[in-house]
Structure 1
Amino acid sequence: MDDPGLRYSSAPTRREAILRRVELDGYVAAADLVSELGVSPNTVRRDLRRLAGDGLVRAVRGGAAAVDAGAVPFADRSAQAAEAKRAIAAAAVRHVEPGTAVALDSGTTTLEIARLLPAGAGLTVITHSLPAIAVLAPRADVTLIGVGGQYGRETRSFGGPETLAALEHLRVRTLFLAATALDAAGVYGATPYEAETKRRLVAAARRTVVVADARKFALDAPIRVCGWEAVERLVTDAPPPPGLPAVPVDVARP
């Protein structure tokens, strides 16, 4: 077998290989590149700095991610379909079982769920959303587990390797999962870190409830989080378009 280091001794060839990985997966860890390319960590760091400097990838802690040109700030998203999100949250909290652990994904709709969680229900709430943590922190009736990591200002949530590692050891009864976009194939996220965090949350939950306003069926996002087979229920504000796989749907009218 050829030495992998020989195949990637040329810097341009290495960088092309890195770009292919990022384009395919949306994210690549520096440690994986060291092994796959057969080069030193310093060489990988130099390649990633060069690619980031050229605007071809986005440097993130522990590796590189695809360039995200379309992120909408959290405050702007909060103002979009605000009444629909409150109605969705009110319908979603009916699926909260007293005395159980609940996970809240980051997002403006899940923030509304945090505000409406029933009092005195003996809930444990796990979330990486800073606004949700701020809402729930004063509540003595909620056991709050905040999942930290690298803070993302656009999403106002924590992400990265530390977040993923923490979620790996948690287990919840119900996850309320947000989405950047939806289609017949499933649920989509905007960035690699966001999508991978959502996948870890799905893996940690016994059941997943997707909460998303109907606009999400008309939007696009680059990274598929999961298919509908991983979802127990969708809570939205209008009937989904034809072609959605058979999943129970709650339609909450504003």
Structure 2
Amino acid sequence: MTRPTTRRGTRQRHEALLALLRDGTTQVEELAAALSVSPSTVRRDLGRLTADHRVARTYGGAVVPEAFHERPVAESALLNRQAKAAIAAAAASLVPAAGAVFVDAGTTCAALARTLAAEHGGRLAVTRGLETANALVEAPGWEVVILGGRILPLSHGLVGPLVDLALERLSFEIAFLGADAVDPARGVGEPTLEETAVKERVAARARRVVVLADASKLAVGDAPAWARLPAGWTLVTDAAAPDDLRARCAAAGVTLRVAG
């Protein structure tokens, strides 16, 4: 009589564990406290869920791999806010003393823009994102240029031939790119070829390319379109990144910076 009850209890704990992971609780100690079990029990459960391909292990925890899904920007802004703030702080330290800066569309890049508005000034910022432009437009010392084009309703990013025309006349000391999916070997994944084309053109006009992506973007399914980036680009992510990320970045020639 006890074995079916035990198995049922384990299944229920696994489902509760998966729900916590989806909500952004990724560290073993936090998961154990939330479930009122020991860390060793959580590690054992994560081991089983990893073997079943239901989670991907990270340093000190795990994340749930997701199918590729483009969220509206308002929904995305509510997810992984602490991780995005940490990534923004780490990325801000990479901004050079002079030269034009490109800051992409997306909620992580908008977090960077808010950080830059408070800490840096006296230079040109170019963007294709409405939230990014709004974060910088009233900041002292910043001259803000938003690329013309068609506004995508989900990401609030601009695409199209007008973006291409503007980029032909610009160059950047550093470009910060957002992404819906990231793979060190493939580059950045996006919902459309239009968006990957913009990112490739921006990267070609920049002296240094930095991709900002929280750990959830490293564990999504295959994106419809991928942008190849110049050799030697940098990835800034958070401490919930997968265990094998550093080795994968090294093999692809990508510089990894882990925030927090």
What does residue range 220-235 of structure 1 map to in structure 2 within 5 Å? 220-227=222-229, 229-235=230-236
What's 2:218 paired with? 217
Are the aligned partners of 1:100 and 1:122 in contact in 2 as well (CA < 8 Å)? no
Shifted more, 176-185 versus 201-210: the winner is 176-185
Shift of 1:140: 3.1
RMSD of equivalent CA atoms: 1.8
1:204–1:144 Cα change, 3 Å: same
Shift of 1:145: 1.1
**In 2: Cα distance, 1:212 partner to 1:130 partner:** 19
- Any stretches of 5+ residues in structure 1 without a counterpart? 1-68
Q: Does 1:182 align with 2:178?
A: no
What's 2:253 paired with? 246
What does residue range 86-97 of structure 1 map to in structure 2 within 5 Å? 86-97=85-96
Q: Does 1:126 align with 2:126?
A: yes
1:182–1:120 Cα change, 3 Å: closer
Shift of 1:138: 1.0
Superposed CA offset, 1:106-161 (max 9, x none): 11100001000154542210001111111111123101111111112211122111
What does residue range 135-174 of structure 1 map to in structure 2 within 5 Å? 135-174=135-174
Bigger RCO (CA 8 Å, 6+ sep): 2
TM-score in terms of structure 1 length: 0.68
Are the aligned partners of 1:71 and 1:190 in contact in 2 as well (CA < 8 Å)? yes
Amino acid at match of 2:70: A
What's 1:7 paired with? none
1:154–1:120 Cα change, 3 Å: closer
Are the aligned partners of 1:88 and 1:211 in contact in 2 as well (CA < 8 Å)? yes
1:121–1:136 Cα change, 3 Å: closer
**In 2: Cα distance, 1:156 partner to 1:207 partner:** 24
TM-score in terms of structure 2 length: 0.66
What's 1:22 paired with? none
Give SS of 1:182's match: strand
- Any stretches of 5+ residues in structure 2 without a counterpart? 1-67
Shift of 1:163: 1.1
Superposed CA offset, 1:2-50 (max 9, x none): xxxxxxxxxxxxxxxxxxxxxxxxxxxxxxxxxxxxxxxxxxxxxxxxx
**In 1: Cα distance, 2:213 partner to 2:135 partner:** 20
Matched length? 184
Give SS of 2:208's match: strand
Shift of 1:77: 1.0
Amino acid at match of 1:226: R
Give SS of 1:234's match: strand
Are the aligned partners of 1:98 and 1:122 in contact in 2 as well (CA < 8 Å)? no
What's 1:201 paired with? 202
What's 1:100 paired with? 99
**In 2: Cα distance, 1:215 partner to 1:139 partner:** 30
1:129–1:231 Cα change, 3 Å: farther
Shift of 1:70: 4.1
What does residue range 65-84 of structure 1 map to in structure 2 within 5 Å? 70-84=69-83
**In 2: Cα distance, 1:99 partner to 1:126 partner:** 14
**In 1: Cα distance, 2:231 partner to 2:207 partner:** 10
Give SS of 2:248's match: coil
Shift of 1:71: 2.8
Are the aligned partners of 1:129 and 1:157 in contact in 2 as well (CA < 8 Å)? yes
**In 1: Cα distance, 2:130 partner to 2:160 partner:** 15
